[in-house]
Structure 1
Amino acid sequence: MHNICLDDVDHLPIDVLPIGTDYPPAHRLPRHTHRRAQLLYGASGVMQVETDDGSWTVPTDRAVLIPPGVAHEVLMDGVTTWSMYIEPDAVPWWPNQCMVAEIGPLLRELLRAANEFSPDYDVAGRDGAVIDLALHELRRLTPTALAISLPRDEPFRSLCRDYLASPGLAVTNETWAQAAKQSPRTFDRHFRARTGSSPAAWRARARLLAGLRQLPASTVTDVAARLGYASPAAFTAAFTRAFGAPPSRFVSRAGSGPPPTPDTGL
């Protein structure tokens, strides 16, 4: 199924609905929920998925697992998706918060095949076997550290969202404290309580995630300079510490190696 609306087929008595969609550049899906669990895979481009709890960056050949009923919005940058919408009872092991994972060659080809199915595909035949194998492969996924927590309370949430959209080097703890009409010490204490991170450490991670979004269209040298790193080597070292793999791992072709498996960063 390709470029069709989930609502048009959600009523079908099928556990897994595979749907591929092409999105224009800088397309934003407004906040919404699905009754089904969703595997949102990016065959091209970069996605940014946001929920009440955090923001997940999803480069090409990665996917985000979105729990059923979780409100989310998605920024699509030159993205073609191969999604699977899955009845919750069919995946009782599904994570209870979003999770980004790298997709290996086998699962990628299964997703490619499934997204060519008709709405009334044969669940008892070859098509159903493709879906069953894809679900087995999904159970083997491990999270990658491509997330950042978002506070729920204002003004902290707006400050963080604005910074994620445009991470400026001129922003300091004092800048944020003034915007929140708090002293720097009070702001720092409240921010840590809501995110588990200092404001400076949070901004450093946000800049790296911004760099990850920029890599497909820029060189490492350009991204490093744009984000204020002294050299490409310094950017690469910080990036590797944060995400478990160097920048080149996120712009090369999929299937070139095992996925990094550090903690999720939330």
Structure 2
Amino acid sequence: MHNIRLDDVDHLPVDVLPIGTDYPPDHRLPRHAHRRAQLLYGAKGVMQVETDAGAWTVPPDRAVLIPPGVVHQVLMDDVTTWSLYIEPDAAPWWPANCMVAEIGSLLRELLRTANGFAVDYAVTGRDGAVIDLVLHELRRLTPMALSITLPRDEPLRSLCRDYLAAPDLAVTNETWARAVNHSARTFDRKFRAQTAASPAAWRARARLLASLRLLPGHTVTDVSSRVGYASPAAFTAAFTRAFGAPPSRYM
């Protein structure tokens, strides 16, 4: 199934609905929720998924597992998705919170195949076997540390959302404190209480997550300077500490 609305097929009596969708650059899906669990896989492009709890950056060949009923919005950057919408009873092991995971070659080809199914695909025979193997492989996924906590309350939440979308190297703690009419000390205390991180540490991680959107098609040297690092080596070291793999893994 390709470029069809979930609402048009959600009633079908199948445990898994595979739906592929093409999105233009800078496309934003507004806040919504699904009755089914969703595997949102990016075959092309970079996604940013946001819930009330935080934000998850999803580079190509990664997927985010979204629990049923969780309200979320997605920023798509020239993305092609191969999604699965799964009845909750068919995946009782689904994570309770959003989770980003790397998709290996076998699962990627299974997703490609499933997203080519007809709307009325047969749940027995080859099509059903593909879906069964997909569910088996999904249970083996392990989480990747590609998320960041967002403050619950405004205006802190909007400050962080704007920064995550377009990090500004000139922003300081004092800049943010003035923006919300707080003293630097009061702002720091409130920010730490809602994110468990200092504002400076939060911005540093946000810049690293933003670099994931820049790496495809750019050199490490270009990206490191754009996100505020003095050298590619310093950027690579910080990136590897944060995400467990060097930038080259995401290029």
Instruction: State the TM bucket, normalised to the shorter chain.
Output: over 0.9
Q: Any idea what the Cα deviations from partners look like across 1:174-198, whole Å, max 9, x if unmatched?
A: 1111112111111111111100111
In structure 2, the residue matched to 1:140 is 140
In structure 2, the residue matched to 1:111 is 111
Note the 1:103-252 alignment, pairs <5 A.
103-251=103-251
Q: Any idea what the Cα deviations from partners look like across 1:8-47, whole Å, max 9, x if unmatched?
A: 1000010100001111111111111111000000001100
Query: SS at 2:189's partner residue?
Result: helix
In structure 1, the residue matched to 2:15 is 15
Query: How far apart are the structure 2 equivalents of 1:162 and 1:44?
Result: 24
After TM superposition, the score normalised by the length of structure 2 is: 0.99
Query: How far apart are the structure 2 equivalents of 1:165 and 1:106?
Result: 32
Query: SS at 2:216's partner residue?
Result: helix
Query: How far apart are the structure 1 equivalents of 2:39 and 2:158?
Result: 28
Query: How far apart are the structure 2 equivalents of 1:77 and 1:216?
Result: 12
Note the 1:251-266 alignment, pairs <5 A.
251=251
RMSD of aligned alpha carbons: 0.7
Structure 1's consecutive aligned runs of 4 or more residues displaced over 2 angstroms after TM superposition are none
How many residues end up aligned between the 2 structures?
251
In structure 1, the residue matched to 2:90 is 90
Query: SS at 1:216's partner residue?
Result: coil
Q: Which amino acid aligns with 2:56?
A: W
Identify unmatched segments of 5+ residues in structure 2: none
Q: Which amino acid aligns with 1:59?
A: P
After TM superposition, the score normalised by the length of structure 1 is: 0.93
Query: How far apart are the structure 2 equivalents of 1:25 and 1:165?
Result: 14
Q: Any idea what the Cα deviations from partners look like across 1:234-261, whole Å, max 9, x if unmatched?
A: 111110000000000011xxxxxxxxxx
Query: How far apart are the structure 2 equivalents of 1:106 and 1:200?
Result: 40
In structure 1, the residue matched to 2:31 is 31
Query: How far apart are the structure 1 equivalents of 2:146 and 2:188?
Result: 24
Query: How far apart are the structure 1 equivalents of 2:155 and 2:111?
Result: 40
Q: Any idea what the Cα deviations from partners look like across 1:159-185, whole Å, max 9, x if unmatched?
A: 100111111111111111111211111
Q: Which amino acid aligns with 2:164?
A: L
Identity of aligned residues (%): 81
Query: How far apart are the structure 1 equivalents of 2:217 and 2:35?
Result: 35
Q: Any idea what the Cα deviations from partners look like across 1:206-227, whole Å, max 9, x if unmatched?
A: 0001111111132111111111
Query: How far apart are the structure 1 equivalents of 2:123 and 2:100?
Result: 27
Query: How far apart are the structure 2 equivalents of 1:169 and 1:235?
Result: 14
Query: How far apart are the structure 2 equivalents of 1:166 and 1:118?
Result: 40
Identify unmatched segments of 5+ residues in structure 1: 252-266
Q: Any idea what the Cα deviations from partners look like across 1:114-134, whole Å, max 9, x if unmatched?
A: 001111111111101100100
Q: How far did 1:96 drift?
A: 1.0
In structure 1, the residue matched to 2:3 is 3
Query: How far apart are the structure 2 equivalents of 1:193 and 1:170?
Result: 24
Query: SS at 1:14's partner residue?
Result: coil
Query: How far apart are the structure 1 equivalents of 2:36 and 2:228?
Result: 42
Query: SS at 1:82's partner residue?
Result: strand
Q: Which amino acid aligns with 2:131?
A: I
In structure 2, the residue matched to 1:80 is 80
Query: How far apart are the structure 2 equivalents of 1:116 and 1:227?
Result: 39
Query: How far apart are the structure 2 equivalents of 1:151 and 1:99?
Result: 19
Query: How far apart are the structure 2 equivalents of 1:162 and 1:23?
Result: 22
Query: How far apart are the structure 2 equivalents of 1:111 and 1:250?
Result: 20
Q: Which amino acid aligns with 1:199?
A: P
Query: How far apart are the structure 2 equivalents of 1:165 and 1:121?
Result: 39
